[in-house]
Amino acid sequence: MRIISGTSKGRNLATPKSQSLRPTSDRVKESIFNILREEIEGRMVLDLFAGTGNLGIEALSRGAKKVIFVEKGRHALGLIQRNLTRFGLEEKSEILPIDAHQAIGILKLRGKFFDLIFMDPPYEKGLIEKTLTKLNSHQIYHRDSLLVIEHHRRELLPPIINRWNLIRQRQMGDTVISFLTPREDHGSSGAEIES
């Protein structure tokens, strides 16, 4: 795994030795950031289920104002810290070593709002619906925020998605990246899947 663009372009990330972590591949990450383009610089970013911190660190390299990494796995936390230290990004970041759902509540109490939220939970564990429900009840986003969800192609977005406008989806192998924005009318919407 490497940083694709920005101040740390081309540098390698510390990677997991364990098969229990599933970091976002460079191909998928590059696709995500090609779509985001101008949505990074100066933005407040939340990286839920951060794993190795791959997405959040890429955002920092591309000029994000600050990234809060949320991860409860001890091995993954060590990788995030090691990568942040390696690239000198500690001052622009914070690590919350707790469950994503607890973190959302804490961030709401702290009055935090995010421009960009990455959500990459373990595949097919029902965590997308649970996390969206928590986000909907603890709105730590604003009207112009963007939510990026990485999920397995067999894992359909849940009905609770109706609070969000699905603006784009891209499929790469078994992985689907869904891009959503908040909506006020809570109506349904659809987006074609790009291959």
Tell me the per-residue pLDDT of 141-185, one tens digit each, with 9 for 90 and over: 999 999 999 999 998 887 767 788 899 999 999 999 999 999 875
Mean of the per-residue pLDDT values for the chain?
Answer: 87
Answer yes or no: is pLDDT of 112 > 90.
Answer: yes
Q: What is the pLDDT of residue 1?
A: 80
Residue 35: CA atoms inside 13 Å, Cβ hemisphere, count?
A: 19
Q: Is 20 part of a structural domain of the chain?
A: no
CA 192 to chain centre: 21
Mean of pLDDT values over 112-125 = 92
Q: Is 21 part of a structural domain of the chain?
A: no
DSSP, residue by residue, 118-138: EE-PPTTSSHHHHHHHHHHHS
State both tokens at 108.
Answer: 């709401």
Q: Is 10 part of a structural domain of the chain?
A: no
Q: Which residue, chain included where needed, has tokens 């591309």?
A: 62
Spatial contact of 131 and 118, defined as CB atoms under 8 Å apart: no
pTM of the model: 0.89
Nearest to 28 by CA among 188, 175, 192: 175
Q: Is 179 part of a structural domain of the chain?
A: yes
Total of domains in the chain: 1
Q: Is 86 part of a structural domain of the chain?
A: yes
